[in-house]
Structure 1
């Protein structure tokens, strides 16, 4: 069976448990090796050419339906949280519904930097559906540390997302060795550069990491939230749910970490963080212009 770039494949040795896109095919020591990007998980992997199986349309549709069902469930739970936050805010703003107040809200602005243009597109669609003001930038993981300073100065976001693909390789070192990870060191460098610009964790909220990323290094570098505490794979959309919760929480409230993680698709095994202040600000009076 011939396998081409951008084919959707599974790894036979892993019983085709994850769908991948073939993004490169190379020769190493006389063996053909494919470089794979996860379709729904932020995972990058190398695999022998002969270990790959092209996934037929029927199987792809079956797996896709399962993931979309999980995504919709997560979205519904998240939307319930947002509705509750908005009701609480309306109650406080109107003094227990006793006053008619013409107010507006300003959720936190997000700058999302992603190493995968396909995932970035999926995330931007979800931001739009939720109602989060966002700018999305596709950037290779290795180039992020050099570009982050200029991007922060230009866009001045409230929330920064630094993500893409990552993977831990046992053959390259122990789980504590950041050099054993595909892109973790670049994510850490990017967070470090961002914190040189804006040191305060409440003035710029940062999510950083991808599948199996070195969680501890990212948190110590200054990320508010990061992946992956137990080095598991995270879903492509998980960063959106985390920052959206922060974006819609009033700035006078602090967010319990579990409240942020509980409606993600991966949960606390793949995501973690520190207590963080919300971003949402309420103002008045409402006009059409201040909602643009």
Structure 2
């Protein structure tokens, strides 16, 4: 069996518990081929010997997708009811103004999915595909250009193989990059109320990202998080009224990974009611921008 970039695979030694796409293949004379993998449904980055990989069938991939789809649909019902509640408060005279979002993502496919969710909920979002290790270089400029209420910094992460010290930031693939991005953002806006920051991916160093200045971060129990979990947290922030706060426990009811996947601090919402309703509409939702 020959593995090539773009193939959908599972790791035999892990019982194929996570389905991956092959990103890259590195060849070493003594160790053979090492394959770089990214999760299809989870924000996990991993590597594996080629000999440990098996190609996944279309049926297996679809079964995995449906498992996540069912979980996502359940949380989506809660989100939709929140939006309906906002609309009912306005009546025919008023209008809703959710928080404005800047979303940086290391994965272009995930970014497109995220922007669709923002658009579905009527949230104005600016999306940029930037590699995790490069995101911090663009944070300040993008914050000043887009002036968001909420910043999402995500992509892929994961514990390095054989990592034993979970306190050590060097045990993580991209957590240090997320920390740098959060610190850069807090130099522009230090207040947790003025700028809500949601950062991290699968197995990220939760404590260090929070200490850097994030309102919410992954992953308290170093578990895998779904591709859209950061978006769920962001939508909660965007649709919670400005005069109310929301808790990590409320976020956990919306995400697939729950409180073990994303945690953080009590935070003030960014939603405002407005009146009268504008006569002329403009397209809402996100666009992918060049860096």
The TM-score, its normalising length taken from structure 1, stands at 0.92
The 2-side partners of 1:10 and 1:278 are apart by: 40
* 1:120 counterpart residue number: 111
Does residue 72 (structure 1) correspond to residue 73 (structure 2)? The answer is: yes
Q: Do the aligned partners of 1:173 and 1:179 also contact (CA within 8 Å) in 2?
A: no
1-side partners of 2:123 and 2:17: how far apart? 33
Contact 1:85–1:249 (CA under 8 A) maintained in structure 2: no
Q: Is the 8 A contact 1:229 1:272 kept in 2?
A: yes
C-alpha contact 1:104 1:282 (8 A) present in aligned 2: yes
For 1:122 and 1:65, locate their aligned partners in 2 and report how far apart those are by CA, in whole Å: 16
Which shifted more, 124-133 or 261-270? 124-133
Match of 1:25 in 2: 25
CA contact (8 A) 2:46 2:160 kept: no
Query: Relative contact order (C-alpha < 8 Å, sep 6+): which is higher?
Result: 2
Contact 1:37–1:45 (8 Å) recurs in 2: yes
Residues 222 and 186 (structure 1 numbering): CA distance in 2 closer, same or farther, change over 3 Å?
Answer: same
Give how far 1:170 is off: 5.6
Query: SS of the counterpart of 1:40?
Result: coil
- Do the aligned residues in 1 keep the contact of 2:83 with 2:121 (CA within 8 Å)? no
Mapping of 1:266-281 within 5 angstroms?
266-281=257-272
**Cα–Cα, structure 1 residues 130 and 101, in superposed 2: closer, same or farther, change >3 Å?**
closer
1:142 counterpart (133, 146, 160):
133
User: How far apart in 1 are the matches of 2:239 and 2:282?
Assistant: 15
Secondary structure, counterpart of 1:171 in structure 2: coil
CA RMSD, aligned part only? 1.6
- Residue 222 of structure 2 is matched in structure 1 by 231
Please show how residues 198-209 of structure 1 align to structure 2 within 5 Å: 198-209=189-200
TM-score when scaled to structure 2? 0.93
Q: How many residues in Structure 1 have an aligned counterpart in Structure 2?
A: 282
Contact 1:184 1:209 in 2 (8 A): yes
- Note if 1:111 corresponds to 2:111: no
Residue deviations 1:256-281 (CA, integer Å, cap 9, x gap)? 22112212111001110101101011
Q: Which segments of 5 or more consecutive residues in structure 1 lack a partner in the other structure? A: 94-99
Measure the CA separation in 2 of the matches of 1:101 and 1:117: 38
Greater Rg, structure 1 or structure 2? 1
Q: Give structure 2 stretches of 5+ with no counterpart.
A: 284-291
Cα distance in 1 for residues equivalent to 2:47 and 2:272: 45
Contact 2:82 2:239 in 1 (8 A): no
